[in-house]
Amino acid sequence: MYFSLSKKSSPSYRADIDGLRGIAVLLVLAFHLGTSKCSGGFIGVDVFFVISGYLIGSIILSEIAASKFSLLSLRAPGSKNRPRAIRDDAGHLAASLQFFLPAELEEFAKSLLASTFSISNVYFFHQSGYFEGPAAMKPLLHTWSLAVEEQFYIFLPLFLIAVRRFFPDRQRVLILSVAMVSFCVSVWGAFHNPSATFYLAHTRAWELLLGTLIALDVFPRFSNTIWRNAASTVVCVLSSLLPLFTNRTTPFPGAAALVPCLGAALIIAAGRSGSSIVSRLLSLSPIVFVGMISYSLYLWHWPMIVFQGVSGILAQGIWPKAAKFVVLAASFLVATLSWKFVEQPFRDRRFTFTRPVLFRIAAASAVAFLALGASALVTRVSRRAFLQKLSAWLPFSKHADPVTESEYRVGTCFLTSRNLQSSFDPSVCLRQDPKKRNELLIGG
């Protein structure tokens, strides 16, 4: 997601790839918003991986071939996103301080530190599964995929340089072999260790390497117009149906990820030889625009969903589906502003920095990340301060002595496994006092 050829003045720019990126991020949004008809929308991340593998692989391979490759120059584009990421996560931290309980705030700070070092995928692997309930309380959960890409950006160049130096005639075979091993491990792990398989880079490497194999011309060019249209159309139909039949219980990534990944790879490969019906559809302006703001949209949408669920930060007291629409609209608005006033100036080189200055900015960004995370851990909300907050809506929380059963009204309003549902007395428990703030607690 960091690297893009989406600069329309560039001869290598392809609108259909931006469109494919747009479809991918819309799938992710639909899944995160809980759209029932898109239960497998998480496959959008897999499509992102293939696109990123193609773009970064193309850059690295061309520069290595021209003896111009530098690991420092490769890392520079990614570092441009750090100042914006600091601003985003600073906002997330402010919201966490306001709405999270102490334990939740501490977990957020740890995830922020993990994100700083591009190991948030490892951190969340040790926490809870991506599809489990607690995941809905983690504003930085979505950064796991960015961490996978960062790790790929570090190890792929080293691998390609070593291959070119020691096995220059076996480059395709070795990359294909590594991709196949990664895929086999992913298939096995999807059943035997699903959480690790979902989060960790070695079981996702094959998806990114698929994109790199396109840059190596392993995939057919589809120079014949009929074959190009037929292949891309079939792939598009199959990939469109997959989110409808894939859900949280599907062993993933494994074999289930093969269809969307191969589909994305074939669409990209087919587009190298010319246009097709699918590429023209993907090149429609609205879809391309979503693709252009996809990085910002991906960064912003999930924290908004989390904080809306925790506190109703964007909308309160409205129909749940209306609240989802509000979150979606707000995500697009903030993402568009972020793309317009932050991403575009950097991409169009309106803000020009020398490499030393750029890396100083990146270093300062990392320090800022560390400071934000450390400050949240150091300044934990004390038990006393926390109880003072609770006292605003739980009058009995100010008592020093343990709360008695009579204060809880156990057996009348507070039901346990020993009480029948018929014991609940609505006339007492749901009686409203117009002079006080009324709260209803369900669950516990």
Domain ranges of the chain: 15-378, 395-429
Q: Which residue has the higher pLDDT, 334 or 129?
A: 334
State how far the Cα of 191 lies from the Cα of 255, in Å rounded to an integer. Answer: 11
pTM (two decimals): 0.81
Does the pLDDT of residue 270 top 80, yes or no? yes
> What are φ and ψ of residue 120, in 5° steps?
-65, -25
Name which of 40-44, 64-68, 215-219, 285-289 the model is least confident about: 64-68
433 burial (CB, 10 Å; 0-12 / 13-18 / 19+) is exposed
In this prediction, residue 213 carries a pLDDT of 94
Query: What sign does the CA torsion over 349, 354, 358, 364 have?
Result: negative
Residue whose token pair is 């035997």 = 192
pLDDT in tens, 183-208: 999 999 999 999 999 999 999 999 99
What average pLDDT score do residues 349-373 get? 64
In this prediction, residue 284 carries a pLDDT of 95
What average pLDDT score do residues 364-386 get? 60
* Average pLDDT of the chain, as a whole number: 80
In this prediction, residue 124 carries a pLDDT of 92
In this prediction, residue 376 carries a pLDDT of 59
Q: The tokens of 196 are what?
A: 């690790």
Amino acid at 391: S
Q: Which residue has the higher pLDDT, 400 or 373?
A: 373
